[in-house]
Amino acid sequence: DTCPFYSFSEAVIGETTCDGKKKMFEMISERKPMHIMDLPQLPDEKEALDNWSVMITKLQGFLENTFDTKVSTDDIHKAISENNRKNDLVKEILEFAALPDPVIGWGEMHDVIFLATPARGNNINTTLEGVVSKLKERVKQGYVHGAKGAPRVLITGCPTAGDAAKVFKIIEESGGVIVALDSCVGLKPFAEKVEEGTSDPIRAIAERYLKIPCACMTPNNRRLTELDKLIDFYKPDAVVDIVLQACHGYNIESHKVGEHVIKKRDIPFLKIVTDYSQGDAGQIKTRIEALLESVK
């Protein structure tokens, strides 16, 4: 019970993206109200959208029963509108790293993402608007994050936070600059918007989230098409794919991603398999330095 998110929570919502997490959720259910959503993993099948819509409707019922409240259709429409605005603002903030001379680094991007992800309502949007204004001011002042002309790195792969963020630190310490975080704790949650004003907002939510190219999906060709868009926009000199140990989906999919980046995009690619310890930091530093040297 050392995680603040867990200790502060009154209920836990899980999904079936990972076998390890499913077993963990069984253990959590012995301690707290627990609701698991069965995520369809063949997203292009016609039944997937119907099934995921049902899961979201069941989640609504769980929340209403657990917290003795009622969620109206108007409430959902309002939340969609506010969340879309939040996504636009986070995207705008992260896009300041796409400038030829980035004015934001991975640490600030990381902070914005972790602030915005659980937040809702207009208060967070006002805060994010303030961040946008500050970044625009940096551009006017000629501020550059990192060394001018530093090798640009796009990060893809597993959600990475906490001690596993050592890879990000090593990249910057080695003279690189991270211009994009392509993961579930990066751009993915903010890349698209939920359609507004529909007669069925639950289905609109389901459609938007089924488009996220998680490695649990099969086939996951959308990951490559979305990666191409990021490469075109952020113009990285190298791509680093971070795989956490025991995350077999991302580990296996890394082969396809690497082939695509190297052969189709002609960009240097490095796969790093790591964990939350510091034991491999020296080895990672050596490999990162070699990668950055190759693109200078």
Q: What is the pLDDT of residues 133-157, one digit of tens each?
A: 999 999 999 999 999 999 999 999 9
- Does residue 188 sit in the same domain as residue 63? no
- Does residue 179 sit in the same domain as residue 35? no
Question: Which of 71, 92, 123 marks a domain boundary?
Answer: 71
Domain extent for 259: 72-295
Looking at per-residue confidence, does 59 or 122 come out higher?
A: 59
How confident is residue 164, by pLDDT bands cut at 50, 70 and 90? confident
pLDDT recorded at residue 163: 76
- Does residue 241 sit in the same domain as residue 193? yes
- Does residue 128 sit in the same domain as residue 36? no
Cα 270 from Cα 167, distance rounded (Å): 12
Question: Which of 71, 88, 117 marks a domain boundary?
Answer: 71
DSSP string for residues in 229-291:
HHHHHH--SEEEEEEETT-HHHHHHHHHHHHIIIIIT---EEEEEE-SSSTTHHHHHHHHHHH
Are the CB atoms for 258 and 251 separated by under 8 Å?
no
Which tens digit of pLDDT belongs to each residue from 71-98?
999 999 999 999 999 999 999 999 999 9
With 80 as the cut, is the pLDDT of residue 1 above it?
no
- Does residue 146 sit in the same domain as residue 197? yes
With 90 as the cut, is the pLDDT of residue 122 above it?
no
Which tens digit of pLDDT belongs to each residue from 256-294?
999 999 999 999 999 999 999 999 999 999 999 999 999
Question: Which of 18, 51, 71 marks a domain boundary?
Answer: 71
* 135-148 core/surface letters (b: 16 or more CB in 10 A; e: else): beebeeeeebbbee
- Does residue 52 sit in the same domain as residue 83? no
pLDDT recorded at residue 268: 98
- Does residue 25 sit in the same domain as residue 94? no
Domain total in the chain:
2
pLDDT recorded at residue 250: 97
- Does residue 86 sit in the same domain as residue 141? yes
Cα 171 from Cα 291, distance rounded (Å): 10
- Does residue 124 sit in the same domain as residue 189? yes
- Does residue 174 sit in the same domain as residue 35? no
What is the average pLDDT across 200-225?
A: 97
- Does residue 3 sit in the same domain as residue 45? yes
Reported as type and span, the H/E element at residue 137 is: helix 122-141
- Does residue 111 sit in the same domain as residue 210? yes
CATH number of residue 229's parent domain: 3.40.50.11900
What is the average pLDDT across 229-248?
A: 97
